[in-house]
Homo-oligomer: A and B are copies of this chain.
């Protein structure tokens, strides 16, 4: 397995584009297309938010046959809470893109991210769609064009034996995926049967995006899509799942690390729980706690807040069996504080990634969750800088 410098264009037969069509006021890229030379199998998972964006309705509909050849993504406006007109707009975009790329509109998936409650500027988007066929390339701005408040692009590609997987993602605020994710688009030239493709995607998403939180607000626009065009032929599917896990976990970490206003990534591993679900719930409760996140921002080893968050996870565990580590430093043993070196632990927290390990000493199941600290900048971004 080799990580290569590329993204969704790394697998054979995939091209993309990213450009400015005028949705964002900033003039930054806001329109992306991912295209496969041939139709292939595709699968997606979606947000669990009861309120779903119009693009999700259209994408779900177009994916009924498990096939897709292109994905169009816009940033700046999410096309959510836009009623019937929003759904028509998303469908019209798929049609226009299909016409331009000379493929069926049904093979075009649609995703949007940005402001909720506004309509898409359809005139500008349709103008931007003109001529896209010639703008597709292996080297482009697709990863930039899907970002909103993100400060860095999130892309990855891995080459393995006879196949390649590539991906781009976005996510910085309103990130608390549940049954789905922020936006993530994955391509591969591996040949995988559609049903299996979907199950591999779900497996990987459960270990990565679904274990990530920036602020506990699950977005209305979350979506993770994988397209497999099969050009590379049959592959070792166990290895495929492993690589897909790796890709999704790396992107989840990139998203957590780029959480709005964050200064560091927090990785929480819960070990030796009775059930996998227990381990997941406790890990997620810790990375979701505002008070834990504030303490980490303040470089404060406030383990009492971690125990409190664990207690709110809805899991039955024995707090008198809990061991806790910050990095390699043991903080709590059997539920009670050990006399740890405060300055040493403070230095560990000060780094740009903090690993917290919780050993429940109560079973054999493990899980890891990804989050970030909560900072003054987070409040500024979400309170003082808006509208």
> Footprint of B on A, CB under 8 Å?
48-52, 78, 80-83, 115-117, 173-174, 176, 215-220, 288-291, 294-295, 297-298, 300, 302-305, 307-317, 319-320, 335-337, 373-376, 378-380, 382-387
CB distance from A205 to the nearest CB of B (A): 18
Q: How far is the CA of A297 from the CA of B176 in the complex (A)?
A: 22
Q: How far is the CA of A81 from the CA of B117 in the complex (A)?
A: 46
CB distance from A260 to the nearest CB of B (A): 9
Additional A-B contact list (10), CB under 8 Å, known A80-B304, A117-B303, A376-B380: A49-B312, A52-B311, A81-B335, A81-B337, A174-B305, A174-B308, A220-B308, A295-B386, A374-B383, A376-B379
What does DSSP make chain A's interface, helix, strand, loop or mixed? loop
Q: How far is the CA of A374 from the CA of B290 in the complex (A)?
A: 11
CB distance from A326 to the nearest CB of B (A): 14
* Residues on the B chain within 8 Å of A374, using CB: 379, 383
Q: How far is the CA of A74 from the CA of B279 in the complex (A)?
A: 34
Q: Are B50 and A305 in contact (CB under 8 A)?
A: no
Q: Are B308 and A116 in contact (CB under 8 A)?
A: yes
* Interface residue from B50, B310, B314, B386 paired with A315 (Cβ < 8 Å): B50
Closest to A292 in B: B217
* Residues on the B chain within 8 Å of A215, using CB: 290-291
* Residues on the B chain within 8 Å of A302, using CB: 386-387
CB distance from A54 to the nearest CB of B (A): 12
Closest to A291 in B: B217
CB distance from A63 to the nearest CB of B (A): 21
Q: Are B297 and A379 in contact (CB under 8 A)?
A: yes
Q: Are A383 and B300 in contact (CB under 8 A)?
A: yes
Q: How far is the CA of A83 from the CA of B320 in the complex (A)?
A: 7
CB distance from A318 to the nearest CB of B (A): 9
CB distance from A333 to the nearest CB of B (A): 11
Q: How far is the CA of A379 from the CA of B263 in the complex (A)?
A: 13
* Residues on the B chain within 8 Å of A316, using CB: 50
CB distance from A29 to the nearest CB of B (A): 23
* Residues on the B chain within 8 Å of A297, using CB: 379, 383-384
**18 A-B residue pairings within 8 Å (CB atoms):** A49-B308, A50-B310, A51-B311, A80-B304, A81-B319, A115-B304, A116-B304, A116-B305, A116-B307, A174-B308, A216-B290, A217-B289, A217-B291, A217-B305, A217-B308, A217-B312, A291-B382, A374-B379
Q: Are A387 and B290 in contact (CB under 8 A)?
A: no
Q: How far is the CA of A295 from the CA of B378 in the complex (A)?
A: 12
Q: How far is the CA of A83 from the CA of B321 in the complex (A)?
A: 11
Q: Are A382 and B294 in contact (CB under 8 A)?
A: yes
CB distance from A312 to the nearest CB of B (A): 5
* Residues on the B chain within 8 Å of A373, using CB: 383
* Interface residue from B50, B294, B319 paired with A317 (Cβ < 8 Å): B50
CB distance from A242 to the nearest CB of B (A): 32
* Interface residue from B217, B313, B337 paired with A309 (Cβ < 8 Å): B217
Q: Are A307 and B380 in contact (CB under 8 A)?
A: no
Given A50-B312, A308-B49, residue A379 in contact with residue B382 (CB < 8 A): no
CB distance from A308 to the nearest CB of B (A): 5
* Residues on the B chain within 8 Å of A387, using CB: 300, 302
For the complex of A and B, the 10 pairs showing the least CB-CB separation, nearest first, are A116-B304, A51-B311, A298-B383, A294-B382, A49-B311, A50-B311, A294-B383, A297-B383, A117-B304, A215-B290
* Residues on the B chain within 8 Å of A375, using CB: 379, 383
Q: How far is the CA of A303 from the CA of B298 in the complex (A)?
A: 31
Q: How far is the CA of A112 from the CA of B118 in the complex (A)?
A: 49
